[in-house]
């Protein structure tokens, strides 16, 4: 669950991880222009991006109350037993679609605990409380075994053998991280509180990475360089506006009873 920041006294826009992933998937489908190469296989890349957090579905269906905020637990504050439940769930879901989807999803899970394969200096596995460290390591070892098996499946077919190469996979992995981080930029922060930022390691091609700056500009956001098909594209994410509650709350019931609303963002070329 993502609990967006909010001005004092205002409701928070609360987003399930599945809805966050659907938002990310819109970026994957729109990615590519004369400067940025659209990734192959396009449909599978869009699919795994749009479903990269599917393992959160059960956790977000019954979100726990965070007494510190009076809201559901935010992503980074999720109790560790629930967080560990999500780790294998997303690759399980995605590999049913295609071995490539399962492999990239598994890399996403593993990378979250290991500095995004060198793209981040945040090594989450070192922050896991001691009492959960063995469970986390067991889950991550399972993902490495999954990755090895799925690579073998891809190599066994001439049309997908290249997809198992380290260079091919890391290029697509970096794209998935860009789509995820771009969505998180909008999802985690209220529009009035968003500041300029830079996303690094964005592949313009298999051989070139660039940094993309995001700058709020009125009702739109300027991206430079611009990676999508057309300037002025609008993207949207569903969520629910919720106010904190002092008492323990059945947030699953509240979420089901609260209508979804959309937050939209317009991106323009800088």
The closest of 229, 230, 233, 181 to 202, measured between CA atoms, is 181
Which element (helix H / strand E) includes 216? strand 208-217
Asked, for residue 109, whether it belongs to a domain, the answer is: yes
The Cα–Cα gap between 37 and 159 comes to 20
Summarised one tens digit per residue, pLDDT across range 116-163 is 888 887 778 888 999 999 999 999 999 999 999 999 999 999 999 999
Q: Cα separation of 63 and 254, whole Å?
A: 10
**Contact present, 239 and 259 (Cβ < 8 Å):** no
State which residues form the domain around 81.
2-195+238-265
Q: Is residue 83 part of a domain?
A: yes
Does 30 score more than 80 pLDDT? yes
* 61 belongs to a structural domain: yes
Does residue 142 belong to any structural domain of this protein? Answer: yes
pLDDT tens, residue by residue, 167-206: 999 999 999 999 999 999 999 999 999 999 999 999 999 9
Quote the number of domains for the chain: 1
Residue 211 above 90 pLDDT? Answer: yes
């Amino acid at each position: 669950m993502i609990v967006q920041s909010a001005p004092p006294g205002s409701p928070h826009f609360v987003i399930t991880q599945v809805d966050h992933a659907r938002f990310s998937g819109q970026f994957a489908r729109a990615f590519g222009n004369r400067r940025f190469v659209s990734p192959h296989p396009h449909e599978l890349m869009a699919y795994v991006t749009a479903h990269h957090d599917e393992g959160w579905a059960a956790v977000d269906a019954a979100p726990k109350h965070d007494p510190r905020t009076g809201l559901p637990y935010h992503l980074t504050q999720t109790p560790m037993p629930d967080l560990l439940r999500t780790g294998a769930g997303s690759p399980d879901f995605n590999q049913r679609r295609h071995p490539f989807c399962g492999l990239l999803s598994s890399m996403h899970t593993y990378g979250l605990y290991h500095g995004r394969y060198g793209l981040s200096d945040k090594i989450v596995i070192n922050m896991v409380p001691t009492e959960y460290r063995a469970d986390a390591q067991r889950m991550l070892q399972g993902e490495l075994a999954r990755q090895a098996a799925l690579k073998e499946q891809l190599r066994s077919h001439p049309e997908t053998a290249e997809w198992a190469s380290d260079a091919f996979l890391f290029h697509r992995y970096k794209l998935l991280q860009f789509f995820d981080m771009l969505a998180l930029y909008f999802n985690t922060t209220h529009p009035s509180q968003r500041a300029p930022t830079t996303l690094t390691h964005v592949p313009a091609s298999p051989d070139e990475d660039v940094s993309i700056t995001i700058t709020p500009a009125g009702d739109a956001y300027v991206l430079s360089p611009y990676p999508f098909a057309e300037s002025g594209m609008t993207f949207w994410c569903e969520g629910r506006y919720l106010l904190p509650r002092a008492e323990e709350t059945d947030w699953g019931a509240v979420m089901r009873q609260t209508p979804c609303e959309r937050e939209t963002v317009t991106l323009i070329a800088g």
